[in-house]
Amino acid sequence: MIITIDGPAGSGKSTTARAVATRLSYVYLDTGAMYRAVALAFVEADADPTADAASRVLDDLRVDVFYTGDTMGVRLNGRDVTDQIRTQAVGTMASQISTLQAVREKMVAEQRRLGTHHVETHGGVVLDGRDTGTVVFPEADVKIFMDADPWERARRRKKEQEAEGRSVSLEAVHKEIVARDAQDRTRDIAPLRKAEDAVVLDTTARTIEEQVDFVVAQVEDARRPDANGT
């Protein structure tokens, strides 16, 4: 069972995807964290987000994911960078380097490999990102597109950052979210968009629990023997 959850920053994808995976005993794969690890490599190499730089940076770069219980972590060339990839600078760089074809090819291939492996070992995988239902697994069993009002998304992001000890203004977070949305939606390769067969979940006025229930209900529907006419 492959479940994809795509949507813009702050729509609630990661929290929901993680909880759905836990509830169904599937594995969670945060594809954004993988792009963030690549972005950190660019930041550390002081490289601009260009195709030229990508060929150098990607050359000897390895991104691995690992799990501590239900929590996914990321390693960059063997180093645990799970916390380091959560800064605003890395987020902005991730949005930029994820427009580069070489970066996407490498990440998509790795995400397909990991997703297939998780299905084999755990019966299912829940991926979250921007293109997991359109590009990574277009044949996924359940596709969700999550969205929410940008101010609500900014409020959530601000709260998250404050919980991590960073103080930011709501206006600044909103501005960053709107800029990142525009970047993610208008890029040439794998732009953020709803797959035609994805179900939209607007989370503006929903609790996490309602979101998780909604996705799990979709999965239960898809599991019914007559779900695809068989």
* Site residues (vs ligand DC, CB under 6 A): 9, 31-32, 35-36, 91, 94-95, 98, 129-132, 180, 184
Cα 181–Cα 211–Cα 39 angle in degrees, nearest 5: 35
CA distance 83 to 180: 21
Give 121's contacts (C-beta < 8 A, 6+ positions apart): 27
Q: Which is nearer to ligand DC, 111 or 218 (CB)?
A: 111
- Going by DSSP bridges, is the β-strand pair 199-202/142-147 parallel, antiparallel, or unpaired? parallel
CA distances 138 to 131, 143, 194, Å, are 9, 9, 11
Minimum gap (Å) between residue 181 Cβ and ligand DC: 9
Q: Is 1 helix (H, G, I), strand (E, B) or coil?
A: coil
For 105, residues 6+ apart whose C-beta sits below 8 A from its C-beta are none
CB of 184 to ligand DC, least distance (A): 5
The least CB distance from residue 62 to ligand DC, in Å, is 18
Shortest gap between Cβ of 130 and ligand DC (angstroms)? 4
Token pair listed for 95: 């949005």
Residue with smaller CB distance to ligand DC, 98 or 211: 98
In whole angstroms, the minimum distance from the beta carbon of 68 to ligand DC comes to 19
Looking at the DSSP bridge assignments, the partners of residue 2 are 125
Instruction: Give whichever of 184 and 230 is closer to ligand DC, judged by the CB atom.
Output: 184
Task: Indicate the residue type of 66.
Answer: F
Is the Cβ of residue 90 or residue 212 nearer to ligand DC in the bound state?
90
First-residue to last-residue Cα distance in the chain: 16
CB of 227 to ligand DC, least distance (A): 26
Please say which residue, 16 or 31, places its beta carbon nearer to ligand DC: 31
Residues 142 and 5 sit within 8 Å (Cβ to Cβ): no
User: Nearer to ligand DC by C-beta: 160 or 213?
Assistant: 160
Give CA–CA dist 211/219, Å, rounded: 13
| Smallest gap from residue 18 Cβ to ligand DC (A) | 12
Nearer to ligand DC among residue 7 and residue 124 (C-beta): 7
